A and B are shown apart, each in its own frame.
Chain A
Amino acid sequence: AQRVTQPEKLLSVFKGAPVELKCNYSYSGSPELFWYVQYSRQRLQLLLRHISRESIKGFTADLNKGETSFHLKKPFAQEEDSAMYYCALRNTDKLIFGTGTRLQVFP
């Protein structure tokens, strides 16, 4: 069955520390994966997608088909990165979201 797993509910780091938000997926076929972010009192919005291979706000994510992972990384966390992060997998006409990881960046 298609599934997205985000094993960490909460990740706390200090400003300037590296960040890795884990995402593993289960999918038969060629996956399309996304990271969405929800900042406090803002709408959920797309952060990045694996197809575009972009770096957004210093974040990158590499699709690893062997490990079925799409971890989100940033070398130096900033306080404004504090938010809820969701990994999502496209399944035909819809997305399957993970349960989310709350990132807290302390000063």
Chain B
Amino acid sequence: NAGVTQTPKFRVLKTGQSMTLLCAQDMNHEYMYWYRQDPGMGLRLIHYSVGEGTTAKGEVPDGYNVSRLKKQNFLLGLESAAPSQTSVYFCASSYSPGDEQYFGPGTRLTVT
């Protein structure tokens, strides 16, 4: 099992460009999460999903959109990137909210 994978690993964008980050899990988990990790800020939840076809806002959703068309995939989109979105993005999945969250390796995004 690959667990949780993220694509791409690194990306550099110019202000105003768009991109999509892909998260995939092969553990048949219902719950999936997108976080951003910034120095001194810890992990902050962007959006999450409690099952295929569902999405919900987290703590810092502005400037991001998500989709969960298939159970195993959770996409994070930036429609118009801003320098404030420079961060490391982590995807995670879990069987239920009280269970262990399994994390992906992260995507390092730089917006210039």
On A, residues with C-beta under 8 Å from B are 6, 9, 32, 36, 43-46, 49, 51, 86, 90, 92-100
Contacts and interface: CB of A to CB of B under 8 A. Distances in A.
Given A43-B104, A43-B105, A98 B97 contact: no
B48 A93 contact: yes
A51 B97 CA distance: 13
Contacts of B100: 46, 49
Nearest to A87: B42
Nearest to A101: B42
B63 to A, nearest CB: 19
Interface in B97-112: 97-98, 100-101, 103-106
Given A93-B56, A94-B58, A97-B44, A44 B97 contact: no
B45 A32 contact: no
Interface of B: 31, 33, 35, 40-45, 48, 50, 56, 58-59, 90, 92, 97-98, 100-101, 103-106
A86 B103 contact: no
Contacts of B59: 96
B76 to A, nearest CB: 15
Given A43-B103, A43-B105, 17 more contacts: A6-B42, A9-B40, A45-B103, A46-B101, A90-B97, A92-B97, A93-B56, A94-B97, A95-B33, A95-B97, A95-B101, A97-B42, A97-B43, A98-B42, A99-B42, A100-B42, A100-B43
B48 A94 contact: yes
Contacts of A95: 33, 45, 97, 101
Contacts of B48: 93-94
A98 B35 CA distance: 13
A97 B97 CA distance: 14
9 contacts: A9-B40, A46-B100, A86-B43, A92-B97, A93-B48, A95-B33, A97-B42, A99-B42, A100-B43
